[in-house]
Amino acid sequence: MKKILVSYTLPEEGLKPLKEHFEVIYPTDKYRFSREEILDKIAEVDGYLAVNVSVDAEIIDAAAALKIIANYGVGYDSIDVDYATQQGIVVTNTPTAVTEATAETAFGLILSLLRNITYCDRKLRNGDPGFTWGMLQKHTGSSLYGKTLGIIGLGRIGQAVARRAITFGMNILYYQRNRLFDHFERLSSARYVPLEELLTQSDVVSLHTPLTESTRHLLGAAELDRMKPSAFLINTARGPVVDEQALIHRLQTGKLAGAGLDVYEEEPHIPNELLQLENVVLTPHIGTETIEARIAMAHEATLNLLTFFEGKNPPHQVN
């Protein structure tokens, strides 16, 4: 029986199909294996279900029998895919299982930010003496209806966010490397525009692009300066897609109205400046943190492993 290393505890329902087909090595008395434990255990396994951990050349070199790295998540920037490919190791991800949960997180940030939900909750709990009921203009937010949502990266998650935005009466612009010539534009009235135009016209900009060398600091100082001072930025993709310090400066100086962030440049570190800003909603990378999504991700990763060891191409191979 093939051996699979799992670096992190998963919902038992998610592990069940994995255990039915493989000998599974996973932490039972704690929530994750340390890097040292991974380096020790990975030498004997055929597959590695990588959960919330960096997979670099050192780990790959320690894996003498490793044939496949099944990433537990859609983003695989934590895996040295090029080196894995050189060593003949297949890398897969779980792009479909994360779609709806991540879209919900993005839209939750939009609602919380524009309607001041988190802000008002914080003021009420802290008993802020300057925060009173019925004071017009003190905590007035912005309506979503009629606003323009600019989506950067209209893949599965971007489209799921767009569907939610349509029900709120928002207009959709999108930008990515290739325009979508399919029914989605017709159904959603989404309009493809260059990045510069999207930034200048959007009231809310939501990022849904993977982290690559070409997307690192995709939104830097110059791009952020194109956005309206009344606009909001939402990032549930990857932290380094945005120049974090440039974003902080524009939030501090009123050049941007606010930001909803689930990801950061140097996780788990969050700059103190962000923590102090009232016009920012922060969550700790919880885009896929629903029990349903976590179970579905385990099933999708298991399908990649099963398909590979049946001698077929996994459905979500990335190299």
| CA–CA separation, 214 and 188 (whole Å) | 28
Check if 238 is active-site. yes
Mark 127-145 as b/e (b = at least 16 C-beta within 10 Å): eeeeeeeeeeeeeeebebe
DSSP H helices, the chain, are 12-21, 35-41, 57-62, 81-86, 99-114, 117-126, 156-167, 183-188, 195-201, 221-226, 244-252, 272-276, 291-309
Q: Which of 307, 301, 237 is nearest to 96 (CA)?
A: 301
Q: How many CB atoms lie within 10 A of CB 72?
A: 24
**DSSP-based three-state secondary structure for 258:** strand
Which residue among 164, 238, 294, 316 is the active-site one? 238
Q: Is 89 exposed, middle or buried (0-12, 13-18, 19+ CB in 10 A)?
A: buried
Which residue among 13, 58, 267, 278 is the active-site one? 267
| CA–CA separation, 260 and 142 (whole Å) | 14
DSSP state of 242: B
Which residue among 163, 216, 285, 299 is the active-site one? 285
Check if 226 is active-site. no
| CA–CA separation, 157 and 56 (whole Å) | 27
Q: Is 214 exposed, middle or buried (0-12, 13-18, 19+ CB in 10 A)?
A: exposed
Q: Which residues are catalytic?
A: 238, 267, 285
